[in-house]
Structure 1
Amino acid sequence: MNTRTPAAPSATATAAPAPAPVSAARTLATAARVLRQLRHDPRSIALMILVPCVMLFLLRYVFDGSPRTFDAIGASLLGIFPLITMFLVTSIATLRERTSGTLERLLAMPLGKVDLIAGYALAFGLLAIVQSALATGLAVWALGLEVVGSAWLLLLVALLDALLGTALGLFVSAFAASEFQAVQFMPAVIFPQLLLCGLFTPRPAMQPVLEAISDVLPMSYAVDGMNEVLRHPDITGDFVRDTLIVAGCAVLVLALGAATLRRRTA
């Protein structure tokens, strides 16, 4: 009778690679790969870079007979447009990576989740800087948007809003199975914030339940931050609070996005 004990299966056959420590080199390599891919997608680049500028241009001349109206809502939309466009582009682009198996193959390598998410955020963040700078420059110096505060503060809030849109897009891409589904998340994630952020009516004038909901939505603080720059020549405590909340929400959502990534274990 054969009494030999069967050999234990090799641990390396089924075990996933151990997560690697966070590496700036891997993060930069991931960002460079994403930027190379986007370079071959001119429609996405046009959506990110040009659409906010075109929308602001149209808005200015829609209110051509009432420039004060443009001044009143232009700053708010300067923060909202980048958030929306970055959300759309990031969610669709990341979903393509998921459905094509690219993310799965990357996670089968000794690449940390933080490296991967940080690389995507860095790549889209660089585009967000370009987008926000162009939109802010167009609004202030070409379309005559009058603000009491510094245009650099407008740029800061616009950039944070674009980064928040990037983070939200990375996060929701985990729950979509197709590009159509990714677009469907926009009414669920963006539209309620758009209605409750104070763009159409001051938040304190809303029904109390809706005001309470708006208090926990990041777009509300994006609009509030823009309005602080619009009305005050110096940095205020409310402005600091609003920008910190928007930045904190972006970091939180990026962390949640990292949590949706799964390594292959078989």
Structure 2
Amino acid sequence: MKHSVSLASPMSLKILQSGAILIADAHCAPWRTPFIDFLRALESGEIQTSQLILMGDIFDMLYGPIPRTYGYNTEGLELLNRLSERLEIIYLEGNHDFLIAELLPRVDVFRREDQPLIMSYEGKQIAFSHGDSAMGWGYELYTALIRSRTVLGCLRLIDTLGGGFIVTWLEKQMKRKKHCRPIEHFERLMANRIEELKLDSVDVLIEGHFHQNRVFGFNHLSYINVGAFACNERYFTVQSIQNQPLLHEAVFRKEPR
């Protein structure tokens, strides 16, 4: 399946701000809470930014039509809603957190079908995407099904009638998942995907999803796969691209380990 992206005109592009903070794949859950500490640090002013870009899979299980998943994430959602009153928050939905715009009314939420988001920075066009695009027809079918409100409504009913066994099973799977494994031949795999995406006018593509923390060039394009916050609390700050990388990596530690 071929993918193409309709790029906005330069006058309509969102502006990427210097000092913006990017976070990908925090997989926040009651059993994994460093992202909550990070949001508290933002709220207290310990960490400062005027623009926060969340690259998807911020929550391990957050599905808009499934109210039971809100309970796992109440504190994180409340913190994001408070922060959104005083800073710009952009949220790219991932494959673990979707159909969530109604939960975050002041946050700019971008669905999978609205990605990549193209932003302007220092004369460059920077594309942001969670990363689970151009993954083949099987994945396209799967992701369409899991985002269907009809399918989710049926699953919610079954889960309720079954005493919550579906969400409980999902929780067990999420706890077992390993987030920090290297992917063999990653550069070659990404080159094939980028070819499918046809981002001819984009200078930089930034994605999460794969948790690899890698940078490489593909023809005219600079590709950045940001590291997962869930692995070691990595986050990234946008800096000037004059003679240095676009993103500065930092590691958040609320408490020494």
TM-score normalised by length of structure 2? 0.25
More strand by share: 2
Between the two structures, name the one with larger relative contact order (CA 8 Å, sep ≥ 6).
Answer: 1
More helix by share: 1
Which of the two has higher C-alpha Rg?
A: 1
TM-score normalised by length of structure 1? 0.24
